[in-house]
Amino acid sequence: MQLLSRRVLLKTAVSCALLQSAATGSVRAARPTQTEPPLVIAHRGCSALRPEHTLEAYAKAIEDGADFIEPDLVVTRDGQLVARHENNLADSTDVAIKPQFASRRCVKIIDGERREGWFAEDFTLEELRSLRTRERFVDMRQESRRYDGLFGICTLEEIVDLVEAKAKSHQRIIGLAPEFKHSSYFQGLGLALEPLLLAQIETSAYLRRCPLILQSFEIKNLQQLRERLSTLPNVQLMQLIGDPRRRPWDAEARGADTSYGDMLSPRGLAAVAEYADYVAPPARVLIPLDAEQRLGEPSGIVETAHTAGLLVGTWTFRPENRFLPADFRDGGAPEARNELGSVAEMQRYLALGIDALFTDDPGLGNIARAGRHDMRLRHGPAGAMIEPFRRWPIPPR
C-alpha cells in the first residue's frame, strides 16, 4: 500500500463517507478534523439490549443512530458466512439443549487455545437455522434476556439486505464493519473467510457502494486484502489490537516475534499504516486503569497513531457497572445499567481525539458524542439521536 502522501484523501466530511478513486486506483482516508464527529459502531449490534449478532440487534442499533454495525463473521460447513462472535456456539445459542446435535460437542485447538463446545464449521446453514440465540451474559442484561429463544442466526447476505432497507427508510448512510474471526484457523480448514466476503462484495450492489471497514486481529489477511481491494473506494481496513503482551495468531504461528505491544510503538504504527487505515486497541490501552481501577493518564497512542497517518478506533464500551472504571460506577449492583456512567466514560475517551468507538449501546454512544447529558433521549425518538447525520445521503445506485 502506498504511503499517505501518495493516496487520495477523503473528500467528504467524515471518514465513513464514500471515497473518491484516484487514477492509480489507490485510496486512503485522512484523519477527520476535530470538528467532525467520530463514528459510533454498534458492537455486535445493540448487544446491550438484544441478543448479539441477530437481525433484531442490528435493527435496534440502527434505530438508535449507529453509523456502522459490526457483524463478526464465521463460516458454516457448507461455506456460508454467518454472524457469531466466535465459532463456538455454546454461549450464544441453545445448541446444548438440542439432542440431535449432542454428538457434535467436541474439543478443538483454535488460535492455540483449547476450546470445548459446538462449532459453526461443523454445521450446515440449514442446521444452524434450527438454533435460537440467547443472551451470553446470563446474570445481567434483563431486557436482552427477554428475547432468549426468539431469534435465529443470520447470514451476511441477510444483514446486508437489512442494512440496505434501513438506509433507504432513514435516508442516511449506514456502514458495515465486518470482523474476520479466526482467519488462519478457517483457512486451514479450507473455509477461508476472506474470499467468501469478496465474492459477496462482487455480487452485492450495496456492499460495493456503502462504507465498509474490514477488521481483523491478524495481520496477513489485511495485507492481502489491501492488495485485492485497492480499487474499491468505499473500503477501509482496521487492524485490531489485542493484549499488548501477546502476538497476533498468524504471527505466532509462523514464529514471528512481533507482539501487539510492538505494533503500538511509533515504528510499529508506521508499519501498520502501510496497509491499514485504522488501528483499534482496547480502551484500557489508550487510558490504563490505576491501582484503584480508575482511569489513569492517557498512553499517548492516539497522537502517535495520528502522526503515522492512522485513524484510531477503540473497544468496547458497555453500560453496566461491572465494565466501567471506578470513576464512573454509581454504587449500584455490578450487573446494573449505569447510563450516565457509560456516557461519561465514552466522553473521556472521545476527548482524546479518537475517530471511532465500539459500544454495546449505540444510543448512549450518540449521546456521548453529541455531548448531551439529558438521558431522556435514551428512550426518546431515534431521530433525536441521529439528527446530526441526516446530511449524509444514502449512497447512489
Tell me if 179 sits within 8 A of 197, measured CB to CB: no
Active-site annotation holds for 373: no
Question: CA separation (Å) from 223 to 28, 42, 276, 283, 331?
Answer: 14, 25, 8, 24, 46
- Residue of 43, 53, 170, 182 marked active site: 43
- Which residue is listed with cell 438506509? 167
Dihedral angle computed from the Cα positions of residues 203, 209, 213 and 214, in that order, rounded to the nearest 10 degrees: 20
Catalytic residue among 53, 85, 170, 182: 85
Strand bridging mode 175-176 / 356-359: unpaired
Q: How far apart are CA 349 and CA 352, in angstroms?
A: 5
The b/e string for 63-99 (b: 16+ C-beta within 10 A; e otherwise) is bbbbbbbbbbbbbbbeebbbbbbbbbbbbbbebeeee
Active-site annotation holds for 85: yes
Judge contact between 18 and 209, C-beta under 8 A: yes
Give phi and psi for 39, each to the nearest 5: -80, 145
**Dihedrals phi, psi of 122, to nearest 5 degrees:** -95, 5
Active site residues: 43, 85
